[in-house]
Amino acid sequence: MAIKQDSVVTLHYTLTDDGGDVIDSSASGDPLSYLHGRGNLIPGLERELQGKSAGDKLTVKVAPADGYGVYDQSLIEQIPRRSLKGIANIKVGMQLRAQTPQGPRTVTVTRIVGDMVTLDANHPLAGKNLNFEVEITGVRDATEEELSHGHVHGPGGHSH
Ligand code: ZN
């Protein structure tokens, strides 16, 4: 069965950056299951999986624009530490939920100088090429319930 709109796809993947460092991998756990064609994967990977079948292995290089976005300098903001009141022990590398004009976003503390805290609302993988090694382990049709929920149930998926 070839992967098409609304297939349930099960796969193992390893994601590395251009330096060969592993960013994420399913290798040590259960494979990932997702509902194809619903935007559950980044666009550059989902597009390459279209038409593939169980047993296929593929290498996919995804550019930032088809991944987690191009790095956007305008998403970096400096704010006074006192405006983060209620958050103890602000440290570089912390991730916070912040209200922005675009709605709630996860921001990363990237710098603290004196009383000023630099927050970066780019996705941690924004601006990076993503190198996927993928092995497709299963393809099946989705159930009516999965289609109405827009996600996969059962192993590797949701339970609700
Ligand atoms: Zn559900």
Please give the distance, rounded to the nearest whole angstrom, from the Cα atom of residue 114 to the centre of ligand 1. 47
Please give the distance, rounded to the nearest whole angstrom, from the Cα atom of residue 143 to the centre of ligand 1. 11
pLDDT for 118 equals 96
pLDDT for 108 equals 94
Please give the distance, rounded to the nearest whole angstrom, from the Cα atom of residue 137 to the centre of ligand 1. 22
**What's this model's pTM, rounded to 2 decimal places?**
0.80
Please give the distance, rounded to the nearest whole angstrom, from the Cα atom of residue 159 to the centre of ligand 1. 6
In contact, 94 and 84? CB cutoff 8 Å: no
Nearest by Cα to 61 from 8, 6, 133:
133
Q: Hey, what domains does the chain have and what are their CATH numbers?
A: 7-68+126-149 (3.10.50.40), 73-120 (2.40.10.330)
Please give the distance, rounded to the nearest whole angstrom, from the Cα atom of residue 36 to the centre of ligand 1. 15
Please give the distance, rounded to the nearest whole angstrom, from the Cα atom of residue 54 to the centre of ligand 1. 24
Instruction: For the chain, 160 residues long, give each residue's pLDDT as a single digit of tens.
Output: 999 999 999 999 999 999 999 999 999 999 999 999 999 999 999 999 999 999 999 999 999 999 999 999 999 999 999 988 888 889 999 999 887 777 888 899 999 999 999 999 999 899 999 999 999 999 999 999 999 999 999 876 676 6
Please give the distance, rounded to the nearest whole angstrom, from the Cα atom of residue 144 to the centre of ligand 1. 10
Question: Taking the alpha carbons of 34, 40, 43, 47 in that order, is the dihedral positive or negative?
Answer: positive
d(CA 56, CA 48): 12
Burial pattern 39-49, b for ≥16 Cβ within 10 A else e, equals eebbebbbebb
Please give the distance, rounded to the nearest whole angstrom, from the Cα atom of residue 152 to the centre of ligand 1. 7
pLDDT for 101 equals 73
Please give the distance, rounded to the nearest whole angstrom, from the Cα atom of residue 154 to the centre of ligand 1. 9
pLDDT for 111 equals 96
Question: Taking the alpha carbons of 38, 142, 16, 103 in that order, is the dihedral positive or negative?
Answer: positive
d(CA 113, CA 136): 47
pLDDT for 102 equals 72
